[in-house]
């Protein structure tokens, strides 16, 4: 049986948004990078466009927030979390914003994130050269 | 500018899931029915399939949770919340579960909810005759 409280349940095809938040995120080598902070959905269609990952910091202080296209996240049953096809170094150069900016989301955010990931992240590959600046 | 913290911002097309939760829900006459408790998304596609509304009770005690297809919710700028095309009486006969069952979501839930709303709720109309029993 699926369970909205058990994101690690491989048999369920639905999950509550509140349960996605807090789920761990790993790199392809299984190293924990951070966790899902929130998801961003389209108001009309209801499509989940981005998962916002939080990395680093301590108790939210110094955290950085990285929006990734939802399709970048693959659920991994054994790890009990999502795997993204990026390592920590790649993620650090990806579009992000600081805790003070968490309240804002603009079309510019979407374009920056889309451009970065459409540019192609390859496992172990180099920096795509976009989005190294924080999102403002 | 859109803002993930401002679900009442009509100019934004994106919203954080955490901000959908807690947003008020009204009937077509503008009477407040309750609020969004959570949303249920498809793990793979990321599509928001259901908004779970909470009604009644006090501080979560005695609350009942009604999953509605996402498309049933229309955002209303002036009210600052979502409007559903049902009144309180109709909602009370719609598929729901109690607080103790909040942790479970099964294919049966989806089928019950889909069958009820596909059956057609018309404003001011009668009970569609489905889903009057709690979801188990």
Does B78 touch chain A if contact means CB atoms closer than 8 Å? Answer: no
Which positions in chain B touch A15 (Cβ < 8 Å)? Answer: 40-41, 43
DSSP assigned state of A58: B
Give the length of chain A. 136
Structure tokens at A93: 């150069």
pLDDT tens-digit map of B69-126: 999 999 888 888 999 999 888 888 888 877 666 556 677 788 888 888 886 544 333 3
Searching chain A, which residue's CA lies closest to the CA of residue B1? A106
Contacts of A40 in chain B (CB under 8 A): 4, 14-17
B32 contacts: CB under 8 Å, gap ≥ 6: B24, B25, B26, B81
- Contact of B13 with chain A, judged by CB distance below 8 Å, is answered with yes
- Predicted complex ipTM exceeds 0.85: no
Q: What is the pLDDT of residue A108?
A: 77
Q: Round to whole Å and give the CA distance between A49 and B108.
A: 27
Instruction: Taking residues B23-42, report their average pLDDT.
Output: 91
Chain-chain contact of A17 with B38 (C-beta, under 8 angstroms): yes
Q: Which of A8-17, A28-37, B74-83, B107-116 has the lowest mean pLDDT?
A: A8-17
For A12, which of B3, B49, B105 is closest by C-beta distance? Answer: B105
pLDDT band at residue B26 using 50, 70 and 90 as cut-offs: very high
Tell me the DSSP string of B36-76.
EEEEEEETTT-BEEEEEEEESSBTTBT-EEEEEEGGG-EEE
- From CA A92, how far away is CA A112, in angstroms rounded? 15
Q: What is the pLDDT of residues B42-70, one digit of tens each?
A: 887 889 999 999 876 555 556 788 899 99
Please say if the pLDDT value at position B37 is more than 60.
yes
Query: pLDDT tens across A71-89, in order?
Result: 899 988 888 889 999 988 8
């Amino acid at each position: 049986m699926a369970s909205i409280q058990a994101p690690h349940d491989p048999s369920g095809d639905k999950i509550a948004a509140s349960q996605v938040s807090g789920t761990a995120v790993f790199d392809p080598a299984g190293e924990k990078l951070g966790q899902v902070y929130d998801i961003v959905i389209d108001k009309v269609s209801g499509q989940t466009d981005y998962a916002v990952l939080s990395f680093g910091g301590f108790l939210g202080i110094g955290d950085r927030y990285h929006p990734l296209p939802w399709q970048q996240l693959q659920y991994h049953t054994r790890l009990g979390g999502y795997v993204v096809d990026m390592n920590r170094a790649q993620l650090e150069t990806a579009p992000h914003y600081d805790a003070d900016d968490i309240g804002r989301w603009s079309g510019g955010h979407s374009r920056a994130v889309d451009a970065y990931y459409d540019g192609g992240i390859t496992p172990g590959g180099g920096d795509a050269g976009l989005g190294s600046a924080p999102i403002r």
